[in-house]
């Protein structure tokens, strides 16, 4: 179908932050966290120019024109659904830190796809299936590990088969607590991925396969196993050269018995099963070291059981 959306049509979508990898689950495991960005999209008349208003994270730094990620993806998906050249006003209320390994770009992409799907469905187009939304997100993101939990909520296992992305949701133990430690400065994902080797030793791959399988069980059924289940051998140590403070923090947290991992490509650190009161003594000890620098933010967050939500 081809047509125009009615001017004034509106949708609001909220999407959670995500943490990918979770230690051993490189590029396939992710967890939705209860920090949410929200986007309100309003259809404008064809004679008006699209615009983007941003509050919170990224205000004054992300573009406010057609190059804005949410606007770019939203208009592209609408064009694919038969509504080309749609003019929109976006109101983005951002709470997910940027360039910290908390899935801000994946959440933006998922928000755009969910909003486009809702607007198109409101005009009579068939709704997209979850795997279709995921594949669209992967087309922008390149991999599904953040997009899957952003769409589905909870924890998610993602994979590709015959060039198509798929995901399965894991219900997370209701008692699981998470703490994120967010450094004051970020690091691009491309830099963090660029230091990884093309191949890893067979023994390290076997180690991670066992730990990733254990992690799936621990997240849903036995959180007491999270410390052992989050041991990684194939990506975190390779990133020490570009993330020395984050890896030092992980070393100290794990020495204290806490299941600490790099959140995605970093530099944020995620502690599964730990509260700020457990984490704070380690952070305080780091502040007394030779490179104190600005203090990272320590925040207790719940697991987001809902992924993208349309209102």
The CA-atom distances, in angstroms, between 262 and each of 43, 132, 236 are 39, 29, 7
Tokens 């995605």, residue located: 264
Nearest one of 211, 212, 287, 219 to 249, comparing CA atoms: 287
Helix axes 104-122, 69-80, angle to 10 degrees: 40
pLDDT at 177: 85
CA dihedral (75, 98, 17, 299) in degrees, to 10, reads -160
Domain 178-301: which CATH class? Answer: alpha beta
Tell me whether residue 135 is annotated as binding: no
With b for 16 or more beta-carbon neighbours within 10 A and e for fewer, the 132-166 pattern comes to ebbbbbbebbebbbbbbbbbbbbbbbbeeeeeebb
Tell me whether residue 97 is annotated as binding: yes
pTM of the full structure: 0.93
Tell me whether residue 19 is annotated as binding: no
pLDDT at 285: 79
- Cα–Cα dist 205/211, whole Å: 10
Tell me whether residue 101 is annotated as binding: yes
pLDDT at 293: 65
Tell me whether residue 98 is annotated as binding: yes
Instruction: Identify whether the C-beta of residue 16 lies closer than 8 Å to the C-beta of residue 107.
Output: yes
Tell me whether residue 78 is annotated as binding: no
pLDDT by residue for the chain (311 residues), tens digit each? 567 899 999 999 999 999 999 999 999 999 999 999 999 999 999 999 999 999 999 998 888 888 999 999 999 999 999 999 999 999 999 999 999 999 999 999 999 999 999 999 999 999 999 999 999 999 999 989 999 999 999 999 999 998 889 999 999 998 898 999 999 988 888 898 999 999 999 999 999 999 999 999 999 999 999 999 999 999 999 999 999 999 999 999 999 999 999 999 999 999 998 777 888 888 887 766 555 567 889 999 999 999 999 98
Tell me whether residue 103 is annotated as binding: yes
Query: Order of strands, edge to edge, in the sheet holding 178-182?
Result: 259-262, 269-272, 178-182, 297-301
Look at residue 252 and give its three-state secondary structure: helix
Tell me whether residue 107 is annotated as binding: yes
Q: Does 178-301 match 10-172+304-310 at the fold level?
A: no
pLDDT at 8: 96
- Cα–Cα dist 46/32, whole Å: 37
Residue 247 neighbours by CB distance under 10 Å: 20
Tell me whether residue 50 is annotated as binding: no
Tell me whether residue 229 is annotated as binding: no
**Domain limits, the chain:** 10-172+304-310, 178-301
pLDDT at 274: 75
The architecture of the domain spanning 10-172+304-310 is 2-Layer Sandwich (3.30)
Tell me whether residue 273 is annotated as binding: no
């Amino acid at each position: 179908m081809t047509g125009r959306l009615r001017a004034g049509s509106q949708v609001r979508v909220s999407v959670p932050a995500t943490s990918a990898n979770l230690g051993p689950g490189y590029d396939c495991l992710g967890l939705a966290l209860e920090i949410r960005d929200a986007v309100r999209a309003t259809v404008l008349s064809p004679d008006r120019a699209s615009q983007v208003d941003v509050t919170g994270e990224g205000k004054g730094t992300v573009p406010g024109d057609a190059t804005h990620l949410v606007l770019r993806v939203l208009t592209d998906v609408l064009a694919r659904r038969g509504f080309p050249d749609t003019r929109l006003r976006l109101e983005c209320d951002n709470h997910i830190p940027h360039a910290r390994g908390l899935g801000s770009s994946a959440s933006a992409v998922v928000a755009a796809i969910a909003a486009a799907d809702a607007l198109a469905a409101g005009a009579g187009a068939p709704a997209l299936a979850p795997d279709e939304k995921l594949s669209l997100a992967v087309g922008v993101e390149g991999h599904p590990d953040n997009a899957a939990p952003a769409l589905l909520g909870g924890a998610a296992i993602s994979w590709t088969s015959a060039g198509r992305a798929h995901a399965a949701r894991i219900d997370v133990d209701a008692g699981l607590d998470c703490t994120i430690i967010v450094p004051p400065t970020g690091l691009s994902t491309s830099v963090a991925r660029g230091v990884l080797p093309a191949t890893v030793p067979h023994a390290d791959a076997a180690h991670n396969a066992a730990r990733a399988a254990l992690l799936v069980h621990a997240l849903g059924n036995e959180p007491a196993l999270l410390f052992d289940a989050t041991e990684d051998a194939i990506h975190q140590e390779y990133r020490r050269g570009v993330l020395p403070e984050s890896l030092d923090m992980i070393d100290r947290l794990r020495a204290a018995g806490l299941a600490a991992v790099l959140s995605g490509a970093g530099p944020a650190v995620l502690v599964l099963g730990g509260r700020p009161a457990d984490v704070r003594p380690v952070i305080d000890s780091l502040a007394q070291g030779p490179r104190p620098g600005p203090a990272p933010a320590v925040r207790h967050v719940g697991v987001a059981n809902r992924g993208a939500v349309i209102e």
